Chain A
Amino acid sequence: MARNGVAPAPGTPWRLVTVVGLLLILAAAVVGRLVLIQVVDQERGAAFLREQGAMRAVRSAEIPAYRGMVTDRRGEPLAISTPVITLWADPLRLRDSSRLGVLADALGQSEVELQQRLDLYSDKRFMYLARHQTPQLARRVLALKVAGVGGKREYRRFYPAGEVASQVIGLTNVDGKGIAGLEKAYEDVLHGRVGKKRYIKDLHGDAIRDVGVVREARPGQPVALAIDLRLQYLQHRELQRAMVETGAEAGAAVTLDAWTGEILAMTNHPVFNPNSRAAFDYSATRNRVVTDAFEPGSTVKPLTLVAALETGAFTLDSIIDTSPGRIRVGRKVLPDPLNYGAISVSRVIEKSSQVGVTKMAQAIGHEPVLSVYRRFGLGEPSSIGFPGERSGSLPNRERWSEIEKVTLAFGYGLTATPLQLAQAYAIFANQGKRVPLTLLKRSDGEQAPSERVISKEIANQVLTVLHRVTGSEGTAQKARVPGFSVGGKTGTVHKVGPSGYLHDQYLALFVGVAPMDNPRYVTAVVIDRPKGDSYGGGAAAAPVYSRITDGVLRLRNQRPEVEAEMPAQLAGFGGGQ
């Protein structure tokens, strides 16, 4: 109709057809290409496009994982993670914000300083505003909705017991990884697995919606220690008190349950506050109970006694003549404080007589003594796996001079840690059986593995002697505990300086077992460099042992051997006969 009604210019139809045809071909080409890329997926075109899209819009974020709690044996928290919020900023967007003043106020920072930091990071897209803020404060800041400010969930570690258990528990770094103490030793158990999720962001990098969880966050496992916080606190208090009374610079104490091998308390001085990193002294983070090995001196004489009894050459009642109160070995003269005359082997240990022990050592030789030391765990690390634990050392010589054989028997020429000493005495308390030590709580009724290292008879004989040491003739009368009979051995060791033994610096040691009628609790006390006249093990360390053990026995519900008459008003309570 149109063709007939309006006279068309000649040639028009083929031009129109050509143009329309070309346009159609172009459209078909575009559609065809789209189909090829998106539907047919030739040459991985679709995958490429998806990837490019995701690169621009999809981001992944970490889901923080909860770090396991560390508790004492009664469930009291010793290390606990609390949620905190870390505030960050995008300097590029925040730099020119008109609300910097408000933000700085809410953060409690000065606006000038904030501006300076923003200028410093002006070419970056991320900087921390304030790390590890309490949720309340962080929410107040985030509620301002300042563009370019964000919050990230993190955990912060708190140590409720503070300095009381600081060296044992250790520390985590700002990223929540254990760097010292138990936090490091049990990192694998405590640390959770960080999860991962994906989200879609807008142009400014703000999350629009989450796409999904790539990996679930898995919380860390809790760890229950053998430590009893009440005993730990008590030990800490007594050690601090001893530091003040003796003027010493450092000290350490450890209490074991010999039957189970559990470490009930372990304290050190100097201390640090694990909740504040402001004034931080790394040397105070050392857990001296396991990291400091020293010559144990007289505290190993009971082990020499074991060697002497095992050879059969001596009994507790064998008489040794210690007159004239000194003995020459090689070029050295070893003196006793006074001439004890002819005394029994038992009395030699009670009085800690150098002459007596020297004569015993000369009679039996060094091999039996070394054998006992090895069986008692000296020179090898304990089983607790504490970071930085020292194993001490036993001498290993081709040829032994006379003086070396003798000094070995009274505790020089070898080194041991306080924990090793406590472990050795635990063998006496255990009637000759060695139980591996542990910092973790053993479950109720769990039978600790044990290995017999000396006979029950000899262990009991040594216990009798240890008890006599605290008697009226012994060196450790100050170790006595009211209501209980205890046993132990003192030690006073010269400290070693750059050029040999220092004449005016000592370590005062005491290792003891209680209660004697049913020996179970072993405590070792080390006082480093006590000042004044009370520098010896019997004067500086034994009183600390006494006060610690008094508390240990009370808190562990041990019944005193002697008791007051039953008061009339209490008689009805069930204790009456």
Chain B
Amino acid sequence: MMSFRWATPLLVAAVLASCLAIIHSTHASRAYYADLQRLEGTHWYLQEDYSRLMLERSTLASPHRIAKLARDELVMRTPDLATLHTIVEGVH
């Protein structure tokens, strides 16, 4: 009979503790989910930037544009055989 007297407050305390733990974990779960949402948003923005920059880079570096700039602005041309020389690394 003694043990029942101790058991009741113990169980009440345990129930209370578990209630608080549930509140805590629910809150944490919501916070984490909010974080996830925010990070997904950031991910999306970064990806947006990344692919836009990739596109910009490949537009600027398109062989067509490079060839045109080299020819028209830098007055470059493909060397003919008379002026071509290959430099081989490591040969002295």
* A interface with B by C-beta (< 8 Å): 66, 76-77, 80-83, 135, 153, 158, 160-161, 164, 210, 212-213, 229-230, 233-234, 482-483, 554, 559-560, 562-564, 566-567, 570, 573-576
Contact = CB atoms under 8 A, between A and B. Distances in A.
B48 to A, nearest CB: 5
A83 B85 contact: no
B33 to A, nearest CB: 7
Interface string B38-62: 0000001001100110110011011
Contact of A575 (B52, B62, B91): B91
B7 interface: no
Given A229-B63, A563-B84, A83 B58 contact: no
Contacts of B77: none
Contacts of B85: 563-564, 566-567, 570, 575
Given A230-B63, A563-B81, A564-B85, 12 more contacts: A77-B58, A80-B55, A82-B51, A83-B51, A160-B54, A160-B58, A229-B63, A233-B63, A483-B81, A564-B81, A567-B85, A575-B88
Contact of A135 (B48, B61, B78): B48
B86 interface: yes
A81 B89 CA distance: 40
B58 A76 contact: yes
A164 B64 CA distance: 10
A559 B55 contact: no
Contacts of A80: 51, 54-55
B54 A77 contact: yes
B12 to A, nearest CB: 21
Contacts of B89: 574
23 contacts: A76-B58, A76-B61, A77-B54, A80-B54, A82-B48, A83-B44, A83-B48, A135-B48, A160-B54, A161-B58, A210-B37, A233-B62, A233-B64, A234-B63, A483-B81, A562-B81, A563-B81, A563-B85, A563-B86, A564-B85, A566-B85, A575-B86, A575-B87
Contacts of A566: 85
Residue of B33, B63, B81, B89 ringed by the most chain A CB atoms within 10 A: B63
Contact of B86 (A76, A82, A234, A560): A560
- The 9 tightest CB contacts between A and B, nearest first, are A160-B58, A233-B63, A82-B51, A575-B87, A559-B86, A83-B48, A483-B81, A482-B81, A564-B82
Contact of A483 (B62, B84, B91): B84
B81 to A, nearest CB: 5
Contacts of B87: 570, 573-575
A212 B33 contact: yes
B67 to A, nearest CB: 8
Contacts of B48: 82-83, 135
B72 interface: no
